[in-house]
Every structure is written in structure tokens, then in C-alpha cells.
Amino acid sequence: MKQLPKTKNCKLELENDWLTIWFNNPEKRNALSEELLTEIRTTLKYVKEEKHIRGILFRGKGGTFCAGADLKDLKRITHTQIDSQDLAFEMSFKIGKLFEQISKIPQISISVIEGAGMAGGLGIACATDIIITMADTRYAFTETRLGLIPIQIMPYVLNRISLNQAKKLMLLGNSFDGIQAYDMGMADYIAKNEKELDEHIINIKEMVKKSGPNAIAKTKRLLSEYYSININRAAKLFSQSVVTKEGKEGLSSFFDKRDPYWNS
């Protein structure tokens, strides 16, 4: 067994053939910074080769799962002197590759969502095989309210909920809770407290143990053929939205703590 990768922005815990990846930047609500993205992707490459690992848990430190992309990175991109669309493309492409990597990992993947799961953070969750939510967790697809488009996460969201539900959530950007996420089929398990949460995790691990690891890997590979996304095209469309007047205004209004011009 190789040594676990060294990470700073996520904490890795390997116990009884299960790896927990803790997003560990609570000051930024575990936003997907470039550093965190790189560390998660490096860890997933490690996991793919370690056949003894039966599953991965994604969790967030500090009471928040993940707030999505680091908006400070996006704001910096829109104010750069060099081609900001190229930089936005690169950022979106990396996030898209992360979602793909999570969905195609041969082991079982589980998201344990406490506090909040927003935008790209919710995309990570939808890319995993199983979602466990707390009843009071808050969710939202906030992209359109920032003048952006939630394109990289679409196939993973639509793999869990109906097109009609996705339209409502993505176009309006309204928040919803864990109970609503469970009722619409986005979340697979729901817990009212930490005790119930731990019980769900234990029970799922026991069920996974009863299935052959190679059978799980092959089944996952076959299932993944039913949904896919052109990451390159998605990154291009997202990067175009970042550098538009609307995208720049959405990001600026967020940091200025004011309404964008279309809501004034």
C-alpha cells in the first residue's frame, strides 16, 4: 500500500478500508479553490490504484460540506489583464474533470452533507454514488443569480432528479433543505441527528462489504455509459458566461453585498 498523498486543504483519514476526504478550509466554507481541486484529484488517482479501499466518504469540516467554486478566484479572473475567458475555461475544465473523476472512481463514493451544499459543492455530491443529508442542510444552485451557468454539474444533477425539478432549482436559484432534497430523490438517505447519520454510514459500509469489489467497479463503469458530458464544450460555455457583462456584474454584486442591476 502506498502512502496517502500529502494534503493541506483536505484531511485524509483511512480506516477499515474506507477513505474519508474531509474538505478542510472552513474559513472559506470549504470552497473549491484551485489548491483543493488539485489535492482531491491527486487523492482520487491514489484511490483508483489502491484496490483494497472499498469506498470513499466526502465530508466538510466546520459545519459546511462545500460552498462551490471559490468566487474570489472567479472575480480575480474577470479583473486580470490577460485573457480572462481562457482562465475561466481552465478553471471550469478542472472542475468538470473532478466531477468526472469522482463519478468514474471504481469504488463506492458517498457524500455526507451537513450545513450547506451549494453550486459546485452540490455537483460533487451528485457525482457520487450515494448522498446522505442532514434534514436541516441548506442547498442551492446559485449560478444563475451570479449571471453564470451551472453547466458542468447538469448531467450529474439530471441523473438524480427530473428535468422539471432541475429547471425550477437552477433557473430560480431558490434554496431548499435536506428534507426537500430527500423527497425529490436527490439525496438517498436523511438523518435528523448525528446518531442517525453515523448509523446510515455504518449500514452502507456493511452493505458494500457484501458485494464483490470488481463487480461494483464493472457495474459502475457500465452505468456511467448512460450519462456523460463534453467537458471541453461545457468549460467553453461557462467561461463565456464569466466574461459577459452579466457574469462580471453578478460576481461584483456578490462581493459588494448589493443586488445586481437586473434585480434593482
Residue 228 CA: distances (Å) to CA of 100, 127, 148, 198, 242: 8, 11, 21, 32, 23
Residue 182 CA to residue 180 CA, distance in Å, equals 5
**Along the 264 residues of the chain, how does pLDDT read in single tens digits?**
689 999 999 999 999 999 999 999 999 999 999 999 999 999 999 999 998 999 999 999 999 999 988 888 777 777 765 677 888 888 889 999 999 999 999 999 999 999 999 999 999 999 999 999 999 999 999 999 999 999 899 999 999 999 999 999 999 999 999 999 999 999 999 999 999 999 999 999 999 999 999 999 999 988 887 666 677 877 777 788 777 888 888 888 888 889 888 776
User: For the purposes of burial, counting CB atoms within 10 Å of the CB of 91, is it exposed (0-12), middle (13-18) or buried (19 or more)?
Assistant: buried
Question: For residue range 132-175, what is the model confidence (pLDDT) as tens digits?
Answer: 999 999 999 999 999 999 989 999 999 999 999 999 999 999 99
Quote the CA–CA distance of 111 and 151 in Å, as a whole number: 21
Q: pTM of the predicted model, to two decimals?
A: 0.87
Domains in the chain: ranges and CATH: 10-224 (3.90.226.10)
